[in-house]
């Protein structure tokens, strides 16, 4: 049987400082954010999502995005990214000096309505103007597609809809398209199926994947994606974000409590551990990312869900093996 | 690019009642064990590891194995398995009425010495007599190989050693060979490499895999195994076992505490969720397994690490989507 061919090198887009911290119940101090971002950049992450130019009254956690960007040490080797929902957001992004923005829509009409307050087509129309203006200013543009496999309102997403939205995002000026398993319900065969359809239109190098580890399948989904040549993968330091604390989410009579940690975003550490174990280069220092996440966990006062962060590297036991 | 072919059906060997409960710090009441096993059997699991005929003074948690087996409701459709380390254990197994035993060695000399108190060759010599006697009594025999990828004493395991031990186990009368990533450090390319070497000698149907999810790679390793045709996969209800509580295992300055859950065994729920999502049949009812694990978690007084168990199925939100 032939060996599956995986990429030799993968580019990780770190989303922890935005997608991860956005849902924290307490406002995270800007110093904590800046330390996290600088440590992640020092660890070698080539792209980091650092904020969102959304309405501060709706997303207070992102209200300091201008100041975060203004205080980051300039680096030629790191792409900083901020979310931009509309023209007003773009004006703020341009003024902040950031060089890459991300626009976001969904492949499920119901989710688009619920999450961004407009339909998919309306969002694409709005982004056309935003993307054109961004490109005129020389900015890079990422396009996010939420609910690319499953929607919490509509169930299974039609891959043809993902294909149509991806096509439109590229047509309106996005450099690449990032497809997300927003609710963490996709499995590898579904991932392969949708990606194979997308790859009929989208060059491999312009397609990124964003998996949630809610039900444990994120790394298996990464494997299925890499088998199709995908080389850009989102991840979040420590597994930050998604739905870190979900009291009552256990169901089935299991123990409930505030100490119950469920996971959303794929943890950067878990991804790095798998990739490096497979001999796939990332240019990122796993232990440096773990140190950044560990420091953040201390600042937040709770453990983060990354499995690697909890287990650590395999440390060999020294001395004479214990005989039992 | 061609789609990877996965098996249409997978057989799950449930190891929670033995491999999972064995490391519980408090003795688990026999009623709790019996309820768990009966519920897992009712859920459709075709094979369940229920105990170990090891020395009760060394492994008190398994001291009730005879009574467990004696009190289980007879079922034609479930294979119950108990570990047997030696001739004395086999006598107890035969007397108990169990029909399948498992012998266990390692692919790392240092681990064999530490874990079973003898070298690999000595263990194989001992098993030759045990397996012959078991087969003479009509019992099925599984052969386990620990540290098939990594050893906590010796580091990376030589795949040629795994191949040699697997060959010997089959030659001495094992029906199948089960290779284990005991420390949860293997990644998919390593899994593929060792399995491809093993499959030169071992028919696909006689090879089983046992992954630990310590660093999050278990399901990705399952995917790599299935791509090579493997159809027998060990898993543990709720992710029970391995090292459920590891205070101080966080490292890197992260928050430490007794509420920190790390994981060992691949959770049966997480495996079922992925397989069923891929359209692979198991004959097992995922929600029934979750219910059994939930009940066990309540009995143990703490949450179990399975991600699916915590997240539950994707429940669609009814009514009109919220507009933000």
Per-residue H/E/C for chain B: CCCCCCCCECEEEECHHHHHHHHCCCCCCHHHHHHHHHHHHHCCCCEEEEEECCCCCCCHHHCCHHHHHHHCCCCCCCEEEEECCCHHHHHHHHHHCCCEEEEEEECCHHHHHHHHCCCHHHHHHHHHHHHHHHHHCCCEEEEEEECCCEECCCEECCHHHHHHHHHHHHHCCCCEEEEEECCCCCCHHHHHHHHHHHCCCCCHHHEEEEEECCCCCHHHHHHHHHHCCCCEEEEEHHHCCCCCECCCCCCCCCCCCCCCECCCECEHHHHHHHHHHCCCECCCCHHHHHHHHHHHHHHHCCCCCCHHHHHCCCCCCCCCCCCC
Taking only the tens place, the pLDDT of each residue in B244-260 is 433 333 333 333 333 33
Contacting residues of A for B185, CB less than 8 Å apart: 277, 314
A183/chain B closest Cα distance in angstroms: 8
Residues B88-111: what's their mean pLDDT?
97
pLDDT per residue as tens digits for the range B26-40: 999 999 999 999 999
Query: In this complex, do B250 and A309 lie within 8 Å of one another by their Cβ atoms?
Result: yes
Q: Which of A243, A261, A291, A299 is catalytic?
A: A243
The CATH topology of domain A12-246+259-309 is TIM Barrel (3.20.20)
Average pLDDT over chain A, rounded to an integer = 90
Are B273 and A323 within 8 A, CB to CB? no
Domain boundaries, chain A: 12-246+259-309
Closest-CA distance of chain A to residue B59, Å: 11
Domain range B11-247+256-310, CATH architecture: Alpha-Beta Barrel (3.20)
Contact: B189, A314; criterion CB under 8 Å: no
pLDDT, average across residues A275-291 = 98
- pLDDT of B222 higher than 60: yes
pLDDT in tens, B289-300: 999 999 999 999
* pLDDT beyond 90 at A2: no
Q: Per the CB < 8 Å rule, is A290 touching B251?
A: yes
Q: How confident is the model at residue B316 (pLDDT cuts 50, 70, 90)?
A: confident
pLDDT at A315: 83
Which residues of chain A lie closer than 8 angstroms to B273, CB-CB?
187, 215-217
Whether A100 has a pLDDT exceeding 60, the answer reads yes
In this prediction the pTM is 0.93
Q: Do A307 and B213 touch (CB under 8 A)?
A: yes
User: Quick check: B106 pLDDT over 70?
Assistant: yes
A225-265 residue pLDDT tens: 999 999 999 999 999 986 543 333 333 333 333 333 446 89
Give the pLDDT score at A260: 37
Chain B's closest residue to A301, CA to CA, is B255
B172 to chain A, closest Cα gap in Å:
25
Considering only CB atoms, B278 lies closest to which of A6, A188, A255, namely A188
- Which of A3, A307, A311 is closest, CB to CB, to B192? A3
């Amino acid at each position: 049987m032939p060996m599956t061919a995986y990429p030799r090198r993968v580019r990780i887009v770190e989303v922890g400082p935005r997608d991860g911290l956005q849902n924290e119940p307490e406002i995270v101090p800007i110093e904590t954010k800046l330390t996290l971002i600088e440590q992640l950049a020092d660890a070698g992450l080539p792209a980091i999502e650092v904020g969102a130019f959304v309405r501060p009254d709706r997303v207070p956690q992102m209200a300091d995005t201008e100041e975060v960007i203004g205080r980051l040490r300039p680096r030629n080797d790191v792409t900083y990214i901020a979310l931009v929902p509309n023209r007003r957001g773009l004006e703020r992004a341009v003024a902040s000096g950031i060089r890459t923005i991300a626009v976001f829509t969904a492949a499920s009409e119901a989710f688009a309505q619920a999450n961004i307050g407009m339909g998919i087509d309306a969002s694409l129309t709005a982004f056309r103007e935003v993307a054109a203006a961004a490109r005129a200013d020389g900015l890079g543009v990422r396009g996010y597609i939420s609910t690319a496999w499953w929607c919490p309102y509509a169930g299974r997403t039609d891959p043809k809809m993902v294909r149509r939205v991806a096509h439109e995002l590229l047509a309106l000026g996005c450099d690449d398209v990032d497809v997300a398993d927003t609710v963490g319900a996709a499995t590898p065969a579904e991932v392969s199926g949708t990606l194979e359809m997308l790859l009929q239109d989208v060059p491999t190098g312009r397609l990124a994947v964003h998996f949630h580890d809610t039900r444990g399948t994120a790394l298996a989904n990464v494997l299925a994606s890499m088998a199709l040549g995908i080389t850009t993968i989102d991840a979040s330091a420590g597994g930050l974000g998604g739905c870190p604390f979900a009291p009552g989410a256990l169901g089935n009579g299991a123990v409930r409590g505030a100490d119950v940690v469920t996971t959303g975003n794929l943890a950067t550490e878990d991804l790095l551990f798998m990739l490096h174990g497979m001999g796939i280069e990332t240019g990122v220092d796993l232990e440096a990312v773990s140190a950044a996440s560990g420091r953040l966990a201390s600042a937040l006062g709770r453990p983060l869900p990354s499995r690697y962060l909890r287990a650590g590297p395999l440390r060999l036991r020294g001395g004479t093996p214990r005989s039992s």
